[in-house]
Structure 1
């Protein structure tokens, strides 16, 4: 693909794990609105839970998550006490008839938590929420944290999906991002998880890292494939040093340029597909039998704050510092600062500090953007059926995009706006064309590929 096309369509845009995106959240939405949204969850509804553990025992310089380093466990103990209080407070707001179908522990490093505390955390959830028998419990895993006792504790809480951060196996790249992790460590951790009944293993790989070359990336992909993961998430490194100061430890001159990043992404995707993985959305790959691949083929793929998912629950409750929740009514985010989060959790349990109440137009645009990101297009008839009074605006925008699309990224046939094979890698940029909030200048974003 021509370099000019790559340069044109890789301008910084949101990742669209929500709409509107987090920079547009407002302090006008807080605990009062949050309580109302929690109370509106109906009998028999399904919901997902996300618990954020913001601590790591080392700071990876590539990381853009809300996290902090600690070499002492005391802060983790204090944080877990606040999280227990928030779980209790939210559980009291939610009707007992709602069932949890997914629980995700993210971070930070959830595997930093001690075995007894992991079991106590799951017990607290089970005491205050009703879990479906087939609830999927997924955990973000750092092989450097894991030992036999933690593996046993993760099995005891019912972990069914393990997500292993790999990033890159090349020693030079690992040193540059302060993420030292051997292939053998990772292999042994994956085998230990599978031996204890984990049904699905995901591996996270990054391209666009410092000192990363096509050759080093190819070797990493080959090593990842030898581990036999059920899913692979292939993310572009987001260099946002204005937001994450520790990324200043990565010299910008060591990073591949936009064209090189695109070539890395395309080659890694090619290798994964050649080994039988199905491409899911813009950055996921899954074995054909994996539930994510099945959902994609059946048109049930969704996108939330954790990325692509086959989770059908409409409500996602975020717990912990900085965690974001997603409701029919809108989005809500907890206090990011850990100390202030704890103070709020201890005082009343809830710690929401900002959010966004959706308008009808927001819901329309959220739907269109989700379809572009998940299915690479949308049917005009489908949108008109779901939003009969206001669909005309985005349909006209789709027609305008196609009329101005000299590069052939899209088509409109039989009333369906669709990205071509050429346009799919740039789905984020196409989705941005339907973002009514993007032009107000709030927030800075990573490059689109």
Structure 2
């Protein structure tokens, strides 16, 4: 890859798991407004739910999530009580009882929950929603802090998919990010999950970590492939110490540069494609029989706050501190600090901190960016049919980007816009050309490769 080309396209840009992106959310969206949006949403489409557990048994230095390390379980007890109350409050705002087709537990480490508290959450969800028998129920797992008893509790809850955090198996890299985790630990957890009938196993791997090399990354991939997962999620490490102070514990001098990061991303892609996985969007890989791969072939992939997904629900309801959701009105994010979140819920308030009310222009641009991130293309004509003149800004930006394209990365015939060839590796940067808010304010982002 040409160094000048890499320098131009690897500048910091958003990851585009929403549009507008979270740094542009504001406190003009309140709990009262969110309650109004919920009261106007009568379905009939099923909902998707996200439940955030902001606690960990350890704090990994690379982590960019809203979480904190705890030594005692007591804080979790109060938090679970608040979650139960928030679930009830939200359900009561809907004009009718709603169906649920997807539940995702993120964190933090959701498996920090005790079996009793997990059962309480299932009970309150069943009391207020109709969870479809075919619902996908997924959970993020840290293999270093889970055992057979906890996994059995998750089996009873009904999980169908587990995302197992690997990051890197190299001991030097693990020490540099404060995440010791043996291959044997990880393989044992994967084996237990399969014995409990969990049909979908995802492995998460990160490139661009301190002291990581192509050789060490290759060894990690070889070990990961030996577990025969259904999917891989491959993330470029986002070094954002201005947002996550614990990342200052990472030696910046040990981080790979832009060229090395690009080579790592290319190596991962080559290895997984050779192993029979299909590339899904920018950073996911799935076996041909996996639902994500099937959705890819039918142009049904979506991208939300959890990354690439088969979730087609129009409304995603977030529960818990810092959780983000969306519905027809716009995006909402809950209070981040767990104490303030619990206080708001205990006072009977929807614990919304900020959000963004969407215009039709926002919806048209957001749909175009999501289509680029998922399938590298979109149709201006289809956007115009849905959003009318609000889609004109997309057409104008498409023409401008084609004119500016000196590298042959873009095709545009007045309707069909497509990112081609090596440009697909830089789709985040190209997508930012449609972002009407990018560059406004003081938001800072991770590098694009």
**What displacement does 1:349 show?**
4.8
**What displacement does 1:95 show?**
3.9
My pick for the range that moved more, 378-387 or 181-190, is 378-387
**What displacement does 1:424 show?**
0.4
Residues in 2 aligned to 1:430 and 1:130: alpha-carbon distance in whole angstroms: 41
Q: Which residue of 2 aligns with 1:233?
A: 233
**1:229-308 pair list within 5 angstroms:** 229-308=229-308
Relative to structure 1, the CA distance from residue 194 to residue 96 in structure 2 (aligned partners, 3 Å threshold; closer, same or farther) is: farther
Q: Which residue of 1 aligns with 2:7?
A: 7
Residues in 1 aligned to 2:262 and 2:391: alpha-carbon distance in whole angstroms: 34
Q: Which residue of 2 aligns with 1:367?
A: 367
My pick for the range that moved more, 358-367 or 203-212, is 358-367
Residues in 2 aligned to 1:43 and 1:142: alpha-carbon distance in whole angstroms: 35
SS of match in other structure, 1:387: helix
Q: TM-score, normalization: structure 2?
A: 0.98
Residues 97-122 of structure 1: CA deviation (Å, up to 9, x unaligned): 42100011110001111111112211
SS of match in other structure, 1:162: strand
Q: Which residue of 2 aligns with 1:331?
A: 331
Question: Is the 8 Å Cα contact of residues 32 and 350 (structure 2) preserved in structure 1?
Answer: no
Residues 139-187 of structure 1: CA deviation (Å, up to 9, x unaligned): 0011112111101101000000000011000000000000111111111
Question: Is the 8 Å Cα contact of residues 44 and 97 (structure 1) preserved in structure 2?
Answer: no
**What displacement does 1:392 show?**
2.5
**1:401-412 pair list within 5 angstroms:** 401-412=401-412
**What displacement does 1:396 show?**
2.0
Question: Is the 8 Å Cα contact of residues 96 and 130 (structure 1) preserved in structure 2?
Answer: no
* Correspondence 1:114 to 2:114: yes
**1:8-47 pair list within 5 angstroms:** 8-47=8-47
Q: Which residue of 2 aligns with 1:198?
A: 198
**What displacement does 1:441 show?**
2.9
Q: Which residue of 2 aligns with 1:81?
A: 81
Question: Is the 8 Å Cα contact of residues 50 and 106 (structure 2) preserved in structure 1?
Answer: yes
Residues in 2 aligned to 1:306 and 1:210: alpha-carbon distance in whole angstroms: 24
SS of match in other structure, 2:19: coil
Question: Is the 8 Å Cα contact of residues 88 and 349 (structure 1) preserved in structure 2?
Answer: no
Question: Is the 8 Å Cα contact of residues 155 and 196 (structure 1) preserved in structure 2?
Answer: yes
* Correspondence 1:447 to 2:447: yes
Q: Which residue of 2 aligns with 1:356?
A: 356
Instruction: Give aligned pairs, total.
Output: 449
Query: Which consecutive aligned stretches of 4+ in structure 1 deviate over 6 angstroms post-superposition?
Result: none
Q: Which residue of 1 aligns with 2:152?
A: 152
**What displacement does 1:93 show?**
1.4
* Correspondence 1:389 to 2:389: yes
Residues in 2 aligned to 1:383 and 1:364: alpha-carbon distance in whole angstroms: 6
Residues in 1 aligned to 2:90 and 2:379: alpha-carbon distance in whole angstroms: 38
**What displacement does 1:413 show?**
4.5
Residues 367-387 of structure 1: CA deviation (Å, up to 9, x unaligned): 111111111011222222222
